[in-house]
Amino acid sequence: MKKVGNHTSISRIIMFCLAFSLSFSLSVFAQDAAPADAAAAPAADAAGADAGAGDPAKGKELFNTLCAACHKLDAKATGPALRNVAEKHDREWLYSWIKNSSAMIKAGDPVAVKLFNENNQAVMTPFPQLSNQDIDNILAYTSQPAEVAAPAPTPGGSQVAADNGINNVLILGALVLVLVVLIVMLALVNKTLKRVAAANGIEVEKPEPSVSLWQAYAKNQFLVLVTAILLLLSASYFLYGYLMQIGVDQGYEPIQPIHFSHKIHAGDNGIDCKYCHSSARVSKHSGIPSLNVCMNCHKNIAEFQGDKDSTYVEYSKEFYTAEIQKLYDAVGWDKSTQTYTGKQKPVKWVRIHNLPDFVYFNHAQHVSVAGVECQTCHGPVETFEIMKQHSSLTMGWCINCHRETDVKIEGNAYYEKIHDELAKKYGVTKLTAANMGGTECGKCHY
Ligand code: HEC
Ligand code: HEC
Ligand code: HEC
Ligand code: HEC
Ligand code: HEC
Ligand code: HEC
């Protein structure tokens, strides 16, 4: 055997490949770090330059806890919009205004008095507890340009993330490239080896023809049987799963004719579910509110004001305002003249929860009698931007809850008597809905 001579050339090629890929990946990682720092630096500079010495991140916190009740950055609320207010007044004036604006108005400061009159003589809360540094921080926050202020609490933070995203792609691409290079190299090595072998007159051994794996498998009856059983079992498992899914619409989330956000109404604005779904308490159905209910508020809310710094706003102001306009079109409300035109276009809400006709379900029984929260069955609705079916609404779901949930008996004379008797009968102190007959077919099926 005289193959040995080739080893040096193979290992040289392999060493070369390794060195090549290593240097390549190193340079990729080097790129990773550099632009991130570079991006962070100017952002911080920019924020620092026009904000004096303040820290916009701390300022944002203060602003949200103390000022956001009356001020927004880009829109007028109780007080004026505060973006770039630092450029409007000098620093000392701002310190004393924010610490005690009423005092300045009383003292007859002309700017303060003018401002006070322009804002319907609304009084701003005094903040004597704030230090000048705190106020600098707040002003730094209000001085941030609109694009930076929204997504990045720490300047440069989001850029770093974005850069990482790009760099991940870069790294992946580089790795693929390295792999391809390796494969080509191997092919070349193989070819060279064969050539060397031929030149040295060495016969390369052909692999012996062996029994193929597949034939061996086919001959082993036990293995075949086991596989067949496994296949059958998994097939029926999936078939069962598929069949059980029929008619179950958990997660159903249709597009509604008006984009109505429960997150904005029930969540951020804290409107009680029963204000709109008023019949949930007293009747079988919970019902969708009529558009007149909407107009109780929306006569006055024609435009979406939501602060775009908030987490609850997922779409643009223009989008939401257009959705409110759809409500006006539906009820025939002309917002410029503040009158009804009489032209109506009823809204066809898409029904989401829908039990089969052969099931009896009663909201009042669950909400008023049993005291079950809406959220237990419908999920955290106050966080839903788009309404969806949270629970499966299967029979098993109803029955499980009836087995687990205790009936509320306190303060209910009717139940107390029944409770005593049934409790004796079942030998328990607490009664579940199931004990009360909540699993009898006739209770839920007509
Ligand atoms: C209770 C409501 C309220 C709160 C809370 C409030 N402000 Fe005001 N702010 C106002 C009103 C109203 C005005 C307009 C002047 C007036 O009517 O007194 C105003 C005016 C201002 C102005 C002058 C704006 C301009 O355009 O010249 C600044 C600056 C200001 N507020 C800063 C702050 C800061 C900073 C905070 C939080 C620490 C804050 N305000 C909290 C109601 C409020
Ligand atoms: C301002 C009025 C309003 C408030 C408040 C409100 N909803 Fe709704 N709700 C609606 C409207 C309108 C629809 C129909 C449009 C949709 O599905 O998004 C609806 C739909 C629903 C549906 C789906 C109905 C279906 O078709 O199956 C459920 C469930 C629901 N609301 C539960 C709640 C719960 C729980 C709360 C309290 C956390 C709540 N809602 C608060 C107006 C309201
Ligand atoms: C209790 C008062 C109230 C009622 C009732 C009410 N809304 Fe609203 N609605 C609001 C408030 C507050 C906002 C947010 C305004 C803002 O942030 O500028 C809003 C925002 C909206 C928006 C824009 C955001 C979004 O959800 O897409 C639409 C559309 C809307 N409402 C439709 C309706 C409809 C339809 C009804 C009736 C089913 C209704 N509203 C009932 C108070 C109400
Ligand atoms: C015990 C579970 C449960 C609770 C608690 C519950 N719901 Fe429902 N809800 C359902 C089921 C089940 C349906 C489907 C009813 C149907 O198809 O007949 C439904 C349907 C609805 C609908 C669609 C319209 C209708 O009446 O069919 C609305 C709206 C609704 N619920 C709102 C509410 C609100 C608001 C509350 C709280 C006050 C609430 N639900 C509490 C289980 C519940
Ligand atoms: C979150 C728990 C819960 C879920 C889910 C639930 N229920 Fe109930 N249900 C109760 C409780 C608790 C009672 C007992 C109320 C009482 O005090 O009478 C009850 C009572 C009832 C009753 C009256 C029973 C009687 O003894 O008169 C019916 C009918 C009923 N539920 C139907 C359903 C149906 C249908 C579903 C499914 C679509 C369902 N429930 C889902 C908790 C639940
Ligand atoms: C707590 C309420 C409740 C009770 C009690 C109840 N069911 Fe159901 N049943 C339902 C609901 C809800 C559905 C609809 C399930 C769906 O749409 O997936 C259903 C569906 C069915 C179906 C249709 C097949 C299916 O799974 O969709 C049959 C059959 C059935 N029930 C038989 C019975 C029998 C028999 C009993 C008595 C042992 C019984 N049910 C007791 C709530 C109940």
Which of 402, 405, 430 most suits a substitution to test ligand 5, by most atoms within 8 Å of the C-beta?
402
Residue 125 Cβ contacting ligand 1 at under 6 Å: yes
- Residue ranges for the chain with pLDDT beneath 70: 1-52, 147-166, 204-209, 247, 307-313, 408-415, 427-430
- How remote is the CA of residue 93 from the centroid of ligand 6, in Å? 72
Write 289-298 long-range contacts (CB < 8 A, 24+). 291/327, 291/330, 291/331, 291/347, 292/331, 294/327, 294/331, 295/327, 295/331, 295/333, 298/324, 298/327, 298/328
Domain extents in the chain: 2-32+160-204, 49-142, 213-244, 262-393, 414-444
pLDDT of residue 380: 92
- Is the distance from CB of 304 to CB of 320 less than 8 angstroms? yes
- For 430, phi then psi, to 5°, come to -110, 145
Give residue ranges with CB within 6 A of ligand 4: 273-274, 277, 280, 285-288, 353-355, 361, 363, 366-367, 372, 374, 376-378, 393
- CB of 88 closer than 6 A to ligand 1? yes
| Contact yes or no for 52/133 (Cβ under 8 A) | no
106-143: per-residue pLDDT in tens? 888 888 988 888 887 888 888 888 889 999 999 999 88
Q: Among all ligands shown, which has an atom nearest to the Cα of 405?
A: 5
Closest residue CA from atom 32 of ligand 5: 361
Predicted local distance difference test score (pLDDT) of residue 278 = 85
- The amino acid sitting at 332 is G
What does the pLDDT read at residue 234? 95
The ligand placed nearest to the CA atom of residue 408 is: 5
Q: How far is the CA of 398 from the centre of ligand 5 (A)?
A: 7
pLDDT of residue 410: 65
0.95 cut: is pTM over it? Answer: no
Residue whose Cα lies nearest atom 21 of ligand 6: it is 395
Which fold does the domain 49-142 belong to in CATH? Cytochrome Bc1 Complex; Chain D, domain 2 (1.10.760)
- What was the pLDDT predicted at 411? 62
Find out whether 340 and 331 touch, Cβ atoms under 8 Å: yes
Q: How far apart are CA 41 and CA 104, in angstroms?
A: 40
Q: Is 352 in the pocket of ligand 2 (CB under 6 A)?
A: yes
